[in-house]
Amino acid sequence: MIYLDNNATTQVDPRVAEHLQGILSQRLVNPASQHAAGRRARSILEDAREGLLTLCKARTQGMQSDTSIFTSGGTESNNLAICGIAAKRPGILVVSSIEHPSVLATAQRLEQQGRAVRYLACSESGQVDIEPVADWIDRGDQIAMVSLMLANNETGVLQPVGELVRLCKPALIPVHTDAVQALGKVQIDFQALEVDAMTLTAHKLHGPVGIGALLLRHSIKLEPMFFGGFQQQSLRPGTESPFLASSFAFTAQLAVAEEDIRYARMLQCRELLESVLLSRIPGAIVLGANAPRLPHTTSISFPGLDRQLLQLALDREGIACGTGSACASGSSQPSHVLQAMNLPKQVVHGAIRLSLCWETTAEQVLDAAERITRVVHRLASNPHGLRSS
């Protein structure tokens, strides 16, 4: 099997597995316990918290230190950021129309509860248009917060978060960014980006599933979503996991240390994959190709084909790929991201997502391109022919 669905989840790095096993074997206890054993667990947990903040270039010293709240993953962090910040601030919630479902569904939920929500549109190239925010600020609309992802999970297109912050900062509007797909692929600099909250998760960069974080600027106020404990300043109560937290920090440390080499490898393989597919399959289109993108993601459409049939046929040929966000897979709904890009229906319906990782080799890419080409040609000549050749 050639695994090209790394944006859904990555396989755990053996070094991370070893690290996790090492900590598990230490038989740690509850990090909130006041005895020596508890303090030992706490020190591992707090080292992980500080490590993650440092790797993301957040402030760890002084009165204005930033915070990292450990969560179960990106979905929870997004929910906490949006519900938590919005609960402290009246006004309109602004999100982009291409966010992950964990942002969009949260916004829709708040909308049902009476919150005004505005959705930022996206261009055909996959970049969100933030201009309306400037107009709304100019005319004095009260905006509670804005949420814009750093990189889109379907197209890989990088979003103008820095520019958005420059618009929002003078008006004291908090900005949250979902950096789930960006962490481990491009440099993350929490301070330089000047966002107020950032969502992260470990399993997109070869860490374990079940641990994420919400980085918070020192000044940001947040309502918790869970109740019943004092852990993590009562913002996310519940017994913390030093095992997972430490593995997350270790995963991020590997990704940052190997950032340049990983980036170069992924980009080279992605370019190879796209160039072979585009040259062999007439009519194929790479979506978002003209915008700055993450180095490992290709959203490619074969207009006229059905993406779900294509995914099934590729699976039979030993290629694992996605058709959109992992949370939406299995649903027959076409991608909300590609629809927001205003692409022709046939393009949206024929698009699959191929997401590489730094371990993907040129040989695998060439092999995958060969198999994809074969399957696309077969389906194009016989759309119902799922039979393996």
* C-alpha torsion 182→188→194→195, nearest 10: 30
Looking at the Cβ atoms of 235 and 375, the one nearer to ligand PLP is 235
Nearer to ligand PLP, 96 or 246 (CB): 96
Query: Least distance from C-beta 128 to ligand PLP, angstroms?
Result: 13
Residue 78 or 241: the one with the smaller Cβ distance to ligand PLP is: 78
Q: In the bound complex, what is the minimum distance in angstroms from residue 329's beta carbon to ligand PLP?
A: 10
Using CB under 6 A as the binding rule, whether residue 74 contacts ligand PLP is answered as yes
DSSP string, 156-176: -BB--HHHHHHHHGGGT--EE
Please report how close the Cβ of residue 279 comes to ligand PLP at its closest, in angstroms.
30
Distances (CA, A) of 186 to 266, 295, 310, 326: 11, 8, 30, 21
Transcribe 36-94 into DSSP letters: HHHHHHHHHHHHHHHHHHHHTT---SSTT--EEEEESSHHHHHHHHHHHHHTTS-SEEE
Helix (H, G, I), strand (E, B) or coil at 120: strand
Q: Shortest gap between Cβ of 167 and ligand PLP (angstroms)?
A: 22
| Radius of gyration of the chain from its Cα atoms, rounded to whole angstroms | 21
Binding flag, residue 75, ligand PLP (CB under 6 A): yes
Q: Which one, 73 or 317, has the nearer CB to ligand PLP?
A: 73
DSSP state for residue 372 in the 8-state scheme? H
Q: Which of residues 325-344 bind ligand PLP (CB under 6 A)?
A: 325-326
CB-nearer residue toward ligand PLP: 17 or 326: 326
- Identify the residue among 19, 42, 49, 100 touching ligand PLP (CB under 6 A): 100
Angle in degrees, 0-180, between the axes of helices 242-257 and 259-280, rounded to the nearest 10: 70
Residues between 265 and 324 that touch ligand PLP (CB under 6 A): none
Binding residues for ligand PLP restricted to 187-226, rule: CB under 6 A: 201, 203, 212
Bridge partners of 145?
93
Angstrom distance (rounded) from CA 166 to CA 173: 10
Query: Given 122, 168, 327, 357, which residue is catalytic?
Result: 327
The yes or no reply on residue 153 touching ligand PLP (CB under 6 A) is yes
Interface residue with ligand PLP among 53, 180, 337, 351 (CB under 6 A) is 180
Q: Where are the extended beta strands (E) located within 234-372?
A: 285-287, 297-301, 319-320, 351-355
Choosing from 13, 178, 196, 274, the residue that interacts with ligand PLP (CB under 6 A) is 178
Q: Is 327 a catalytic residue?
A: yes
Question: Is 236 an interacting residue with respect to ligand PLP (CB under 6 A)?
Answer: no
Rounded Cα distance between 225 and 209, Å, is 21
Containing 13, the helix (H) or strand (E) segment is none
State the nearest-atom distance from the C-beta of 234 to ligand PLP, in Å.
22
Q: How far apart are the C-alpha atoms of 298 and 274, rounded to whole Å? A: 8
Asked if 104 interacts with ligand PLP (CB under 6 A), we say no
Q: Is 96 in the site for ligand PLP (CB under 6 A)?
A: no
Least Å from the CB of residue 358 to ligand PLP: 17
Q: How many CB atoms sit inside 10 A of residue 225's CB?
A: 16
Q: Which of 349, 350, 345, 343 is nearest to 123 (CA)?
A: 343
Which listed range, 70-78, 82-90, 108-116, 261-269, lies at the site for ligand PLP (CB under 6 A)? Answer: 70-78
Nearest residue to ligand PLP, scored by beta-carbon proximity? 74
How many residues at the interface with ligand PLP, by CB under 6 A? 16
Residues contributing to the site for ligand PLP (CB under 6 A): 73-75, 78, 100, 102, 149, 153, 178, 180-181, 201, 203, 212, 325-326
Q: Which residues are catalytic?
A: 327
